[in-house]
Structure formats: C-alpha cells, structure tokens
A and B are shown apart, each in its own frame.
Chain A
Amino acid sequence: MNIIVIGLNHKTATVEIREKVAFDGPKLGEAVSQLKETPDVKENIVLSTCNRVEIYAGVGNNDNGAENIKSFLAEFHEVPRGPLDEALYIYKGHDAVKHIFRVASSLDSMVVGEPQILGQLKDSFDFALKSKSTGIYLNKLMKKAVSVAKRIRTETKIAESAVSISFAAVELAKKIFEDLSSKSFMLIGAGEMAELAAKHLINTGVQDVYVTNRTHERAEELAREFEGKVVPFEGYVDELQYIDIVICSTGAPDYILMKDQLHSVMKARKQKPMFIIDISVPRNIDPEINEMDNVYLYDVDDLQGVVDTNVEERSKEAAKAERIVEQEVHSFLKWQDSLAATPTIVALREKAETIRKEELEKVLRKLGPLEEEKIKAIEHLSNSIMNKLIHHPTAALKSEQDDRDVMIDIANRLFKLENEENNGDKK
C-alpha cells in the first residue's frame, strides 16, 4: 500500500479552476463512493475547502493510482485534462505524508497558522469514516496528522498572534481590558476595516454598542447591523465619557478629537482606561492623545506594525514547525514499514506450520498407534525445530533496519512465500 496526494490549492490554481473542481454538498459523497470503485484506489479521503481540493489515497501502484484519480477528477467535473494537469500536484510516499501533515498544521495555508483547516480536515476524515472509504493506513495517517497539528500548536507559537488588523485590535483590547463583555464601544464613521473590527469586537462579547455618523441614515443602518444605539454626530464627544473602546474611521480631512477635549472626558470618567483605534486616513484623532495616562491610541500604521511583527514571528515559528513535521513523517513511515513486514512474517509462520503439521501426520501414520506421551514428545520436537528455524528470520524482518524492503523480498524468495501484499507491484 502506498499513500499519495493529488490536489490543487491557492498556489497552483486560480479561483476559477478551484471553483470548478470543488466537491461541495452532495458532490462529496458521490466523489468518495466513486473513488472507492476506482481501480487501484484502496482507501480515499476527499478534502475540499475554498483554498484547496485534495484527494488522499492509499493505492496499490503509485502511477496507476495517480492516473486513475486524475481521470476521475477530469470526468467528474467535466474539465479538460490539459489545464487540470497543470494545476495538479502529486505527492508520493514520504512527500505525501509530509504534505498532509503540513496541511493539517496550517503550514501550507494562505495565512500560515490559521486554525480552520484542521477542523476541515477532521470533517473530511469523519465523512470518509462514515462512508467506509478508509482503511488502516489512512486512519492512522489522519489521526497522526491531527496529533501533529496539535503538537505544533502547543510547541510553537505559530497560531498565537493576530495577523489581521481587525484581529490585532481585538487582541489589544483584551490586553487592556481583559473581559470585553462589560465594556462599551463606539463606532465613529464607517468603512470596511472599521466595520470588520467592530464585528470582531462584538463577536468577542462587547454588548454596549454606540454608532455615530455624519449622515444620520448611515448611522441608523449601522446601528441596526450592530444592534447598537445612534448618537448624534454633533454631540458624540459628550458621550465619550461612557465609552471604553472607540473605533474611528471618518472621511474628515482633519482631527475631529483633540487632546484637551479628551482631557475633560477622562476627568469625567475618573481616568478609567480608554482604547482608541483610529483607522482613518488621514488621521482623525490627535496623535498626542497617546501621551495621556490611561488612554491608548493606535492608528492604522501602528496596527499594521503589530501585524507585521506577528507575521514575522509566525514565519520564525513555522521553521520550528517544519522540523516537527519532518520528525513525525519519519516516525509514521517507520510504522508503515513495520506494517509492510507483517504479512511476510505471517506467511512465513503459516508456511512453517503447514509443513510441520503435514510431516507430523505422515510420521504418526507410519509409526502406527502410540502412547499419548510419545505423541506429545514428537509434537513437541516438531514445534521446537520449527520455532528455532523461523526465529531469526522473523526477528530480522521485525528489526527496524533500512534494508527491510530487501529483507522482505529475500524472505519471500527463500521461503517461496505467497501473500497478497508482497506479490503486488511494490514500487
């Protein structure tokens, strides 16, 4: 049995191709059952996300298996082979295992360290289990992939810090306020990034939401969206004393909040801390405000700086993660190898046992009726000869040495063993 990966992702295929070959909804079930019927494909798992479509398969023969899966993909999605083949990558053996581990640990993702992919992989595996499309190899491989991903998450900081501006803002808010659910939040103005950050804040638990905007209708609209209250734009400064977190993003060409204004706000709120995020370009909030006690002002560049450091940190951590992957691939392949020897050992034992029984019967027939004790003695003799003869070959097959493949081959030839696995066309 060999493990192969055939697939495409955001690096090798445009979104048009990815859309075409995606297995969404009922297509997934069809694909898994069709693959089960595909010749040379003994086990299969289909992973389909918006960034990647991949088929993990246990095949008897690498090339035949890969070819059959490719034509399956082309036929199933009715796409021409040419452009499809160009986008597809194929990994075999060591590389296949490594690829699957990297995908699970989010090392192959568009945003390295993003957590969704592991869940998606688990779902695909669960689906395959339900459809009974996997066997001992892929089951073990998937379990291992999940544990590798978890190990990487605990041993490295690959997924620790925010890598988008809006998440960075939420993360900072948590480091200032700890529990956001008791905090109040005001959105001044609007804009894609500001709304996204507002959404993240609300998802994290902020309940007391205020919205203000130069156009009243827009304010009403946003208030509905965020389940907040509208504050008139002319008087928003008077409300600030009740607000802990501010996100500001207006089109104003100049500062709309000055240091001395905020000074009286802080006095009114007895210096309770405030976190102000100014996403506007040009900036809307006097940068000198950051010098005030208990006020923390971040503008877009500051947040981008935080994100950049985090991305850098992640790529450093990714190198650590790659080392872990390499270790784990090694240990998985070792297990797979040891599995390869098992049928040979079983066959060897069976063969010896058959010979022993046949010869025993022959000799007992020749000797005629015998006392129970003597029969037992002869049986014992045959057993111990057999065990001693096959002991060393078995041990050699079990030992974890690099030349085990050769050993298996020799054992098959020396003892003229017949077993399914090794008579198959091993690479």
Chain B
Amino acid sequence: MQIETNVLLFELALTFYFLSTISGIIEIFRGKKAASKISIYLAAMGFLFHTGNIIVRYAQGGHIPVTNMHEATSFFSWCILLLFFFHEFRYRLGMLSSFIMPIVFLFMFSSSIFPREIKVLSPVLQSYWFGIHVILAFLGDAAFAMACGIGIMYLLQERFVKSKHLGGLFQKLPSLQVLDEINYHLITLGFPLLTLAMITGVIWANSAWGSYWRWDPKEVWSLITWLIYALVLHLRLTVGWRGKKAAILSIVGFIIVIFAFLGVSLILKGQHTFM
C-alpha cells in the first residue's frame, strides 16, 4: 500500500513530538540537564516534518489546511511551536519545552485521531478573508497556549519559593519575574490577535452570509474567551492582578480556549464546524 507523503510527514512529526515530550518530562523528574536540549532538538526535527506536512497539504488542497478537525488541531500545534521556538531563542528559558511540548503533543495526538482526507473548500470559505482570519485566530490561541504553559511554570516556582522547598526543579526553573513578564507579554500578544481575528471574522461573515453576528456557538465562545483575556489584562493594569492570580487566570483562559476550539466544534454545531 502506498503511503501518502503528507501522512508520512505527519506521523514523523507526531513521533518526534512524542519523544520530545518524553525527554522534557524526564527533565522535570530527573536532574538531567541534557534532557532539555534533546527535547528541543527533537521538537525542531518534528517541526521540520510538520512544516513539510502543512506545505504538502497546502499544495494539494490549494488553501491553508485548517478545514477539518485533523488539519485544525495539527495547524494549531504548529502555531504553538512557532511561538515556542521564538521564545526559546529569544529568552532561553530553562525547562520551557518540558511544559509546552506536552500541550503541543496533546493537540497533535488528537489531530491524529480525526479523519485526514483533504477536502475541497466549500464556496463560502473561498475568500482571502479565510487565510487572514484563521491565521490571526490560530496565532492568538497559540499565544494563550504558551501563556498557559508559562503560567503552570510560574505556579510551580511560586510554590517552591513560598514553601521554602528549594530543590533541583527550583534551580532549573526561571525566576518568578521573568515567568510573570513573559506570561503578560504573551497575553498582550494573543489578545490583539484574537481581537483582529474577531473583527475580520465579523467582516467576512457579513460578506459571506450578509450578517455580522449570528450568535453561532463558535462566535459566542470566542466572545467569552475575548472577555476573559480582556478581564485578565484589565485586572492586571488596575489592581495589580499579577503573579499567581494572573497565572491561574491564564490557565483557566486556555481551558476555555480549548473548549471554544474543540468542544464547540465537536459538541455544538455551527458554520465553524468545518463539515
């Protein structure tokens, strides 16, 4: 049986992400310094194959591959990794891959469960708004995913400092201030992206269906997400909800993002359900 190139590339990416996640987790539980580097290299290998997979699917389908659940979750983990590598090179945070790669792998793994056929784009979606809208939305959500991972790191490190239990993991995790700042940066990155995604979505909806807002479940949940992160930013700037509270909110926020992203498409139906 002949294996399609895009399937092969996907499986390779999935395998490398799995190995990267494993070595990242090893680093959490064992003091191996090398595990983190290995984790990053494995992730980079996976990312190359993954990029190949997306290019192949783009060439075959003629549009950005986000038109079914398989493609959407896969493209989402690709976006998270893009931001991950950017942060890894920019800040060189210790242990970042140990907390981000499991999220990446989770989405990649769920992607592998969904059917993989490349569909012809329905006429409604054939618009240049499509590309702009989904890229903005996916990058925004990817920033929230990163903020969630960093938030978990913050909570762990905060626990160590508060409980005065300063073990090996405390030594390897970045400082509280750096984690809090990057968490904040990521939300200030994700929030305008999400805002723009919603604006482009509204404009596009008007040109496609003739109305700006139809209370479609996806729209409702996107609005909820938007309100949550607006609240996170507002509380931080006015009453100083930073540190632990901001970390918890960014984790809660991302759980809602996941629901808006997967749950709505699977449980509630609407014009965003791709099918």
Contact = CB atoms under 8 A, between A and B. Distances in A.
Contacts of B175: 174-178
Contact of A176 (B31, B161, B167, B242): B161
B142 to A, nearest CB: 25
B1 interface: no
B240 A175 contact: no
Contacts of A269: 240
Interface in B220-275: 239-245
Given A294-B244, A305-B164, A273 B176 contact: yes
Most buried by B among A269, A293, A296: A293
Contacts of B245: 293
A271 B241 contact: yes
A305 B163 CA distance: 12
Interface in B144-189: 157, 161-162, 164, 166-167, 170-171, 174-178
B171 A161 contact: yes
A176 B164 contact: no
Given A298-B164, A302-B164, A176 B243 contact: no
A148 B133 CA distance: 58
Contacts of B157: 175
A336 to B, nearest CB: 33
A97 B109 CA distance: 55
For chain A, the bracket of interface size reads: 20 to 34
Given A178-B178, A306-B164, 8 more contacts: A175-B175, A177-B175, A267-B240, A271-B241, A273-B176, A293-B244, A305-B164, A306-B166
A143 B261 CA distance: 60
A345 to B, nearest CB: 42
13 contacts: A174-B175, A175-B161, A175-B175, A175-B176, A176-B176, A177-B175, A178-B174, A178-B178, A271-B239, A272-B242, A273-B243, A294-B243, A298-B164
Given A160-B171, A176-B175, A270-B239, A290 B162 contact: yes
A294 B242 CA distance: 8
Interface of A: 157, 160-161, 172, 174-179, 267, 269-273, 290, 293-294, 296, 298, 302, 305-306, 309
B170 A175 contact: yes
Nearest to A160: B171
Interface residues of B, number: 21
B35 to A, nearest CB: 15
Contacts, number: 56
Contacts of B167: 309
A151 to B, nearest CB: 14
Nearest to B244: A293
A354 B174 CA distance: 71
A296 B166 contact: no
A423 B164 CA distance: 65
Nearest to B31: A157
Contacts of A161: 166, 171
Minimum-distance CB pairs A-B, first 6 = A270-B240, A271-B240, A178-B175, A178-B177, A294-B243, A178-B178
Most buried by A among B166, B170, B171, B241: B166
A313 B176 CA distance: 23
Contact of A272 (B166, B240, B244): B240
Contacts of A160: 171
Contacts of B162: 290, 296
Contacts of A296: 161-162
B161 A271 contact: no
Contacts of B244: 293-294
A179 B91 CA distance: 13
A210 B112 CA distance: 59
A161 B170 CA distance: 11
Contacts of B243: 271, 273, 293-294
Contacts of A267: 240
Contacts of A272: 240, 242
A175 B170 CA distance: 8
B161 A172 contact: yes
Interface string B50-72: 00000000000000000000000
A347 B114 CA distance: 79
A190 to B, nearest CB: 25
Nearest to A182: B177
Nearest to A174: B175
A177 B178 CA distance: 7
Contacts of A174: 175
